[in-house]
Structure 1
Amino acid sequence: MDAALTAEQDEIRRTLREIVTKRCGPGDVKAAVRTPAGYDAGLWAALAGQLGLPGLALPERHGGTGCGTLELALACEELGQGLAPSPLIATAGLATPLLLALGTPRRHAELLPRVATGELTAALAVPGAALATALGLVGDHEDDRDHRAHRDHWAGGGRAGGVQARTADGVWRLYGQVDQVLDGHSAELLLVAAHTGGFARSRALLFLVRGDAPGLVRVRQTALDETRPRARLELRDVEGELLGEAEAGTGPDVGAALAGTGERVAVLLAAEAVGAADRALARTVSYVKEREQFGRAIGSFQAVKHRLADVYVRVQAARSAAYYAAWAADARSGDGRGDGDGRVDGDGEGGERAGGLALAQGLEALRTAAAEAVQLHGGIGFTWEHDAHLYLKRASGDELLFGPVHRLRAHAAERAGLFTGEGADRAEGAAAASAPERGAPAVRVVGAGPGRSAGGAGR
């Protein structure tokens, strides 16, 4: 891995930093999240139409720029600096890789050029609260036919609940409800996971549903993190189109495509978290240099210096982890510069799967930086008018949707073979038992940053 950024990558960072600085101030973000779309449409037009951000990692033949995951991660890091609300993660992080991996050439030609220009936004709808499981971040998909009752449990297992799909005269009809869909209220295209074949022969497939399809009801929900708007989808006899081609007993490997997508979106979220943590730390450092107590700036006290130094080390470690995970993701896909087919299946040769660990490291760094920002800003840091709470909510919201941190690490350790048999069960059980009490994993064997102990991260 070459740790030095190219001139092109530096230019991506510089351009986006200028835009974020001008258009993503605290007042701009708070105003944008209160719009019906949940983001600034003008900012998205600039990011997509002028800079081509949604198509940054798309192959050129599909209308993209032909860059890799690393370039998109650098862009996400800059957007994270300003907590910029946008449909980038939902569209380019979750939906686009699935369209590439499972879509037919006709679908590619029809949809991907529009995605690349920002004309078409998309969202992934997974029933229940199992998005992290569906993406393979905290568990693997069960494909053993001897365990049919547990197959695709992340999508409802074919039982009542979730989304069911039935076909008649060649037309698919979807029924059910999906909660917590990232940017689901505003996306023009929805990728909905639904069960087919009834309970006995159930299998989860992905369907394309237009945002204005008859029978589709979309309700924006109140979210802890307003910069990540979510929606509830109600599908009442809604017409959908199968993503890919599937015959009875065959068809696309949805689980593998979701796992590859999970690896990529974990990298993007980790980079976003690093950017947000870096900005929270910079704002706190600036504040403690100006705020005086006992006749001197509070930043001159040794205890404050030590606390901020610890945050700095964690942010830098998280940045290194995110960059390495992005490089590894490109190495796995064999398409680091967009020269291949652009598919993300998580099974390529070369790099390892480090996205989950990078995400755990990034979320923990952001939570620590935000917590210190709240405390060191004193009374003003607890007010609704100040911005410190936005960073804390971003860390908490992402962990609820894509984590939690202790499960991200436990799954990565299990996949790497660090624990076997009873040891794996004890490790995950201990992590789950300690997380509610201490807010940190009990086992920090994998991805622990500098200065971390095996006992936890909290003070």
Structure 2
Amino acid sequence: MDAAFSAEQGEIRRTLREVITKRCGPDEVRAAVRTPAGHDSALWSALAEQLGLPGLALPDTYGGVGCTTAELALGSEELGRALAPTPLLATAVLAAPLILALGTEEQRAALLPRIAAGELTAALAVPGTGLATALGLAGDNRGDWAGGGRAGGVQARHQDGVWRLYGQAEQVVDGHSAGLLVVAAHVGGFARSRTLLFLVREGAAGMVRTRQTALDETRTQARVELRDVEAELLGTDRAAEGGEGIDVPDALAAVGDIAATVVAAELVGAADQVLERTVDHVQQREQFGRAIGSFQAVKHRLADVYVQVQAARSAAYYAAWAAGAEAAGFGGQGAERAGGLALAQGLDALRTAASEAVQLHGGIGFTWEHEAHLYFKRAAGDELLFGPVHRLRARAAERAGLFADHEPPAEGAAPAASEAPAAPAGAGLGEAV
């Protein structure tokens, strides 16, 4: 693995930082999230037209730039530094890759160029509150999270040549303003149970979208209610024709790894920024006639945060490289999907950095109006969406087979050395004397 970035990747980082620094300060962020769209539409247009950010990881065949997950992660790291509210995660990370992977050629040609140009925003809607499960981050996504044929979830039925959806999704990132929804729904009842993805356009009859009050207001969420909404199947349902069906869980898991990597990079950028501002503050704030940053206890606390942020950055960069390696067909077993672990590391880093910022800023740090709380809420909100941390790590361990069950020893066989009972205290001392 080559950890050095190319000149083009460095240019992406530098250009984005210049734009974000000028147009996305704390006051601008608070103003943007209170708009009906939940983000600054002018900033999004600039990011799309001048930098091609929505199409950064899309093939140039569909109007994209043709870069990899690494470039997308670098861009997201810069957005994370300012907690810039944009539809990038919902549109370019969650929805667009699914259209690219599963859509028909007609669907790709009609939708992806508009997404790459920033003209169309999209969102992924999964039933209930199971986004982390659907993406394969917090558990196996081949279960009945889409409804399983029972009440609840989102059900799809094919009638008179038209697909119709009925159900509800609770945590749809940017779902209230997206022009296109990619909806996961259960089809086939009990006999041929499976999950498929459907496209629902803005303004579809029977769809009600309500913006939710989220803990992290910079990551807008919506509740989407579907009442016999006409939808278009994403791809082709070959299983209905007696062929092999679309492997939606595998596609969602692949997108989940990329999403975890991108969110991890966002968290690293946010943690780095909040650490930088905290260091500036402790160098200026004085107590007992000297800057509090000169106290050894404060130095130790910030040094620990720095180490944790750098570890999270390394994990995010490795996950981005591994995702690109898997897409290119090399990288080796075990280097394929590291997004979940990188996300867990990033969540821990930002939560620690934001907590220290709140405390070291003193009385002002404990007020809701202080920007440190925006970063603290981002860590807490992302963990509610994509975590929790212990489940992210448990899922990664499960996939790696770290805790696979071992075959019990045959009856009468001697136990293995690792399973043998420990010798009593003092055993063998007599022979040594």
Q: Is the 8 A contact 2:131 2:386 kept in 1?
A: yes
CA distance in 1, matches of 2:406, 2:360: 43
CA distance in 1, matches of 2:119, 2:334: 34
**What does residue 316 of structure 1 align with?**
310
Give the letter aligned to residue 209 of structure 1.
Answer: V
**What does residue 236 of structure 1 align with?**
227
**What does residue 286 of structure 2 align with?**
292
- CA distances 1:289-322 after superposition (whole Å, capped 9, x unpaired): 0001111100000000000000000001100110
**What does residue 103 of structure 1 align with?**
103
- 1:198 to partner: Cα distance: 2.1
**Cα distance change on mapping 1:181 and 1:422 into 2, 3 Å:** farther
CA distance in 1, matches of 2:405, 2:141: 19
**What does residue 391 of structure 2 align with?**
407
- CA distances 1:336-392 after superposition (whole Å, capped 9, x unpaired): 9xxxxxxxxxx9979321110000001100000000000000110011221010000
TM-score relative to the length of structure 2: 0.91
**Cα distance change on mapping 1:184 and 1:348 into 2, 3 Å:** farther
Q: Among the aligned pairs, what percent are the same residue?
A: 75
**What does residue 402 of structure 2 align with?**
418
Q: Does 1:373 align with 2:364?
A: no
Alignment of 1:174-323 (within 5 A): 174-247=165-238, 248=240, 250-323=244-317
- What is the aligned counterpart of 1:356 among 337, 340, 344? 340
Give the letter aligned to residue 165 of structure 1.
Answer: A
Which deviates the most, 263-272 or 414-423? 414-423
Give the letter aligned to residue 300 of structure 2.
Answer: H
CA distance in 2, matches of 1:176, 1:136: 21
Q: Does 1:64 align with 2:58?
A: no
Q: Is the 8 A contact 2:91 2:122 kept in 1?
A: yes
Q: Does 1:173 align with 2:164?
A: yes
If you compute each CA radius of gyration, which structure gives the higher value, 1 or 2?
A: 2
CA distance in 2, matches of 1:17, 1:85: 15
Q: Is the 8 A contact 1:122 1:190 kept in 2?
A: yes
Give the letter aligned to residue 226 of structure 2.
Answer: L
- 1:200 to partner: Cα distance: 3.5
- 1:204 to partner: Cα distance: 1.1
Task: Give 3-state SS (helix, strand or coil) of 2:145's partner.
Answer: helix
**Cα distance change on mapping 1:160 and 1:348 into 2, 3 Å:** farther
CA distance in 2, matches of 1:384, 1:352: 41
CA distance in 2, matches of 1:335, 1:315: 30
- CA distances 1:81-118 after superposition (whole Å, capped 9, x unpaired): 00000000001110011011100111111111001011
Give the letter aligned to residue 309 of structure 1.
Answer: A
**What does residue 79 of structure 2 align with?**
79
- What is the aligned counterpart of 1:332 among 326, 337, 345? 326
Q: Is the 8 A contact 1:164 1:195 kept in 2?
A: yes
- What is the aligned counterpart of 2:155 among 157, 164, 179? 164
Q: Is the 8 A contact 1:273 1:363 kept in 2?
A: yes
What are structure 2's unaligned runs of at least 5 residues?
Answer: 408-433
What are structure 1's unaligned runs of at least 5 residues?
Answer: 143-150, 337-346, 424-459
**What does residue 438 of structure 1 align with?**
none
Give the letter aligned to residue 366 of structure 1.
Answer: L
Q: Is the 8 A contact 2:133 2:145 kept in 1?
A: yes
CA distance in 2, matches of 1:317, 1:90: 26
Task: Give 3-state SS (helix, strand or coil) of 1:154's partner.
Answer: coil
**Cα distance change on mapping 1:351 and 1:422 into 2, 3 Å:** closer
- What is the aligned counterpart of 1:387 among 361, 371, 390? 371
**Cα distance change on mapping 1:251 and 1:348 into 2, 3 Å:** farther
Q: Is the 8 A contact 2:334 2:400 kept in 1?
A: no
Q: Is the 8 A contact 1:128 1:156 kept in 2?
A: no
CA distance in 1, matches of 2:27, 2:61: 39
- 1:422 to partner: Cα distance: 8.4
CA distance in 2, matches of 1:302, 1:352: 42
**What does residue 22 of structure 2 align with?**
22
Q: Does 1:43 align with 2:43?
A: yes
Which deviates the most, 200-209 or 276-285? 200-209
CA distance in 1, matches of 2:171, 2:130: 10
**Cα distance change on mapping 1:375 and 1:422 into 2, 3 Å:** farther
CA distance in 2, matches of 1:349, 1:369: 33
CA distance in 2, matches of 1:211, 1:264: 26
